[in-house]
Amino acid sequence: MRAELVTIGDEILIGQTINTNAAWIGEQFSLLGITLQRTITISDIREAILDTLEDCRRRADIVIITGGLGPTKDDLTKPTLCEYFNTKLVMNTAVLAKIEAYFKSVNRPMLEVNTNQALLPESCRVLPNDYGTASGMWFEKENTIFVSLPGVPYEMKALMENEVLPLISQRFNLQPVYYRSLLTQGIGESFLADIIKDWEIDIRNKGLGLAYLPSPGIVKLRISGNEADAAGSRQKVENALTELEKLIPEYVFGYDKDKLEEVVGKLLNEKGLTVSTAESCTGGYIAHLITSVSGSSSYFKGSVVSYANEVKQEQLGVNPADLAQHGAVSREVVEQMAAGVRNLLKTDYAIATSGIAGPDGGTEDKPVGTVWIAVSGPNGVFSGMYAMGNNRERNIRKSALMGLFLLRKQVMEDC
Amino acid sequence: MRAELVTIGDEILIGQTINTNAAWIGEQFSLLGITLQRTITISDIREAILDTLEDCRRRADIVIITGGLGPTKDDLTKPTLCEYFNTKLVMNTAVLAKIEAYFKSVNRPMLEVNTNQALLPESCRVLPNDYGTASGMWFEKENTIFVSLPGVPYEMKALMENEVLPLISQRFNLQPVYYRSLLTQGIGESFLADIIKDWEIDIRNKGLGLAYLPSPGIVKLRISGNEADAAGSRQKVENALTELEKLIPEYVFGYDKDKLEEVVGKLLNEKGLTVSTAESCTGGYIAHLITSVSGSSSYFKGSVVSYANEVKQEQLGVNPADLAQHGAVSREVVEQMAAGVRNLLKTDYAIATSGIAGPDGGTEDKPVGTVWIAVSGPNGVFSGMYAMGNNRERNIRKSALMGLFLLRKQVMEDC
């Protein structure tokens, strides 16, 4: 089953709107075992639409078209679809009644453009839209199915879930490919690749696939089943995942859609532990990540963001002599910050950061990206120095994720 | 000038990654006067790449290719590019030296896959990547320019801004449509539309365009010149901007690409003032926004993230009786938090937040999204209550932006 997606809309091409529909449809198809082999975004121009539909028909079994429908946009897309499918617009009385009922329910006058939304191609199967006035349309042409849907995400999603995906599943005997992902922290893509290279060769020989999906501080390793043997590869994927985890246990923090801040939160909750943070270079971002998780108030008490050295001394009790001698970006200071905030806010654990986020402030000894991170807990304070690179935003995010990762490691060692 | 974009990557097609690069590139091209007429996403399969490049060559003057590069991905895309452009991979010693220097600077061993990143097509112009190890590549074939860039967004953006867009601008006589944007805070899109409706009719009659670009807490109003008279509409756009600003002065905080945290930072810097924050529901996100700006250490001293009530009492000096009587989400508590942190960290101003971020914790009196925000300064403490809606992430961001907006307003009134 090969699918293609055509998105119609200038607002996507000029970058006013990010095409989130494409990712959502890609994920739904992938889970069902349909290969979305291509997505194309075009302008709402007759020739572009006709060319693209014909091109897609030659390549795909299913073509989803989103956008170009709606009261102010209907003029072009619907007549062009009629031209391509060799049909004409006719008034659909059932759809008209539904649109009239909608306008009555919201007590607004109905305009001619709204009436025109019930004009639909004679040859299509009309898919009812429960959240808007633009209907979905299902066409077939020379063994290819074409489905035209409105571009408004929640209308498109409801039509896909309630109409399109069930119809496709009924029609075809689909074999979804099985996927699992392992989430790693604290190691770069190429180092990971080197450690796991024998395992990778082995799973590829078994017909499985592997993708490296890096983002700042995190590399996701996705194992995919054999497309030719979708049903039989589930166990192979699970075995490969187990083997992979044994190769790199110290870097793994979760699976699939897990987030590090959620994994850490769950761990603290289970153990009945609390945490606080003392942040210099991360500037409150660790506290933000922790509190982005609903329910974090049960394990997070608070944070002292100590950007100024006087805050490090006065609130966190950092020794002024150490600040003077070693500088704010040092083992001595970051460990005192961690111990200080743990004591001040009376928590079981604390994370502290002090570093040079950049782009300015680096020296030869301590270049931009040098970050000290400490974790303080019932068994003492542990710290390390990291080189986080020279991009401020990434530097802050990588340092925060490393702080959470070190906390998780320490809690697991202690408990 | 007709451009097309080819994105290579299964992670995009199966919906694991949203293609934000496409929107960014579309916007850059649109601002330069280049029409992005089509974007195509394909899998990293040799035949798909070759077919797509040839198809794009027939249609476009410029083809941007993103993705398919990087230490673990190079195997396929680079040889396929060599095949299409009839060239071969050669070791680029300058790029190799740069990659070696990078690994030396971060004190990590260099692997063979990293060395291979310096293998580049002989016929291309190599575009240096300052943020990663995958170089950009510029090819030309039968009057079409092809540029291959890594898919990592910040690497792609830096290469576009520093190399690709300047080269394109030098080569072609582009007639960009003139755009200006006004940035507003604290008012919704439909309310704005109602206030400015007569002005909007007037500028549309003059041939100008207007787009409402909403994001959580902020609405950007973009005025665009007449495409048919790109050079002549500059003054019309500037006049329209001036008129618009006069209609809604209390909601405007900046222009074009300004960020509220940068605008506020600049203001504090100019006036020689300092700020701190006391954050409950925003959980450190205001501190994070402030410290995301390089140089913020000159006006930001720190923050007390007081998630637990005991931190509000013990660190910020909030009266336990007020906490008990009015609850943490109240005028009394948020004003004491603001005054408390201003006093504790000895700053000129302070922002405090206390609210119900959701999705749980709401009551009939104080539903999810209820947020109190206070600003404390030399002339006293001022606060307000806001309904920020029931999405936790949006709620935190909107509250933080409102806090910064209120601080800016107060500083401007005081000075």
Angle of the A46-59 helix axis to the A74-85 helix axis, nearest 10: 40
- The pLDDT tens digits for B325-335 are 999 999 999 99
Distance CA B353, CA B347 (A): 17
Cβ-nearest to A284 among B48, B71, B285: B285
DSSP summary character for residue B34: -
Nearest to A302 among B13, B22, B304 (CB): B304
Residue in A305, A314, A371 to test binding to B, most B beta-carbons within 10 Å:
A305
CA atoms within 13 A on the CB side of A65: 29
- Cβ pair A344:B72 closer than 8 A: no
Residues in B closer than 8 angstroms to A189, CB to CB, are 70-72
Q: How close B293 comes to chain A (CA, Å)?
A: 9
Alpha-carbon gap, residue B12 to A413, rounded angstroms: 38
**Cα B266 to Cα B260: distance, rounded to the nearest angstrom:** 10
Q: Please give the residue of chain A at the shortest CA–CA distance from B280.
A: A302
Count of beta carbons in the 10 Å neighbourhood of residue B389:
15
CB neighbour list of residue B335: distance below 8 Å, 6 or more residues apart: B352, B374, B376, B381, B383
**What would the pLDDT profile of B266-304 be if each residue is shown by its tens digit?**
999 999 999 999 999 999 999 999 999 999 999 999 999
Taking contacts as CB-CB distances below 8 angstroms, the residues of chain A near B210 are none
Strands across the sheet containing B349-355: A380-387, A370-377, A349-355, A275-279, A300-306, B300-306, B275-279, B349-355, B370-377, B380-387
Mean pLDDT of chain B: 94
Instruction: Summarize pLDDT for A119-156 with one digit per residue, the tens.
Output: 999 999 999 998 888 999 999 999 999 999 999 898 99
Any idea which of A348-352, A408-412, B7-11, B72-76 has the lowest mean pLDDT? B72-76
Across the interface, which of B11, B131, B307 has its CB nearest the CB of A213? B11
Neighbours of B193 (CB within 10 A): 14
Mean pLDDT score of chain A: 94
C-alpha distance from B115 to closest chain A C-alpha (Å): 11
Q: Do A283 and B304 count as a contact with CB atoms less than 8 A apart?
A: no
Q: Which of A223, A258, A303, A306 is the best substitution to test chain B (most B C-beta atoms within 10 A)?
A: A303
Instruction: Collect all residues of chain A within an 8 Å Cβ-Cβ radius of residue B285.
Output: 284, 288, 291
% chain A with pLDDT above 90: 79
Residue of higher predicted confidence among B80 and B187? B80
The stretch A391-402 carries a mean pLDDT of 95
Q: What is the pLDDT of residue A68?
A: 87
Residue B87 has pLDDT above 90, yes or no: yes
Distances (CA, A) of A80 to A62, A71, A85, B289: 19, 16, 9, 47
> String of b and e for A203-240 (b: at least 16 CB within 10 Å)?
beeeebbbbbbbebbbbbbbbbbbeeeeeebeebbeeb
pLDDT interval class at A348 (50, 70, 90): very high
Spatial distance between the Cα atoms of B253 and A147, rounded to a whole number of angstroms: 44
Tell me what pLDDT residue A177 has.
Answer: 82
Alpha helical stretches, state H, B160-308: 165-171, 189-195, 197-205, 234-247, 260-271, 285-291
Quick count: other Cβ atoms within 10 Å of Cβ B228?
Answer: 9
Would you tell me how many other CB atoms lie within 10 Å of the CB of residue B409? 16
To the nearest whole Å, the CA of B43 is away from the closest chain A CA by 6
Q: How far apart are CA B377 and CA B406, in angstroms?
A: 11
In A209-366, where does DSSP find H-type helix?
Answer: 234-247, 260-271, 285-291, 309-314, 320-326, 331-344
Q: Which helix (H) or strand (E) holds A185?
A: strand A179-185
For testing the chain B interface, which of A307, A386, A392 should be mutated: the one with the most B CBs within 10 Å? Answer: A307
Comparing A222-231, A272-281, A320-329, B47-56, which segment has the lowest mean pLDDT? A222-231
CB contact under 8 A, B283 and A288: yes
**Cβ atoms of A9 and A37 closer than 8 Å:** no
Indicate the Cα dihedral angle A244, A248, A250, A256, nearest 10°: -40
pLDDT at B227: 73
- Cross-chain Cβ contact A12/B28 below 8 Å: no
Residue B140 backbone dihedrals phi, psi, to 5 degrees: -135, 140
- CB-nearest partner of A307 from B107, B279, B291: B291
Asked if B113's CB is within 8 angstroms of A193's CB, the reply is yes
Mark yes or no for CB contact B302/A303 under 8 Å.
Answer: no
pLDDT at B350: 98
Q: Which of B17, B28, B288 sits opposite A283 (nearest CB)?
A: B288
Angle at B52 between CA B175 and CA B152, to 5 degrees: 70
Enter the ipTM.
0.82
pLDDT at A39: 98
Q: Render pLDDT for B132-170 as a digit per residue (tens, 0 to 9).
A: 889 999 999 999 999 999 999 999 999 999 999 999 999
User: What are the backbone dihedrals phi and psi of residue A250, each rounded to the nearest 5 degrees, phi first?
Assistant: -70, -10
A298 CA to chain B: closest CA distance, Å?
9
* Chain B CA closest to residue A42: B38
Would you state the pLDDT for residue A173? Answer: 87
> Amino acid identity, residue B178?
Y
pLDDT at A74 over 70: no
CA angle B354, B360, B361 (to 5 degrees): 50
Contacts of B106 in chain A (CB under 8 A): 387, 389
pLDDT for A72 beyond 70: no
pLDDT score, position B391 = 85
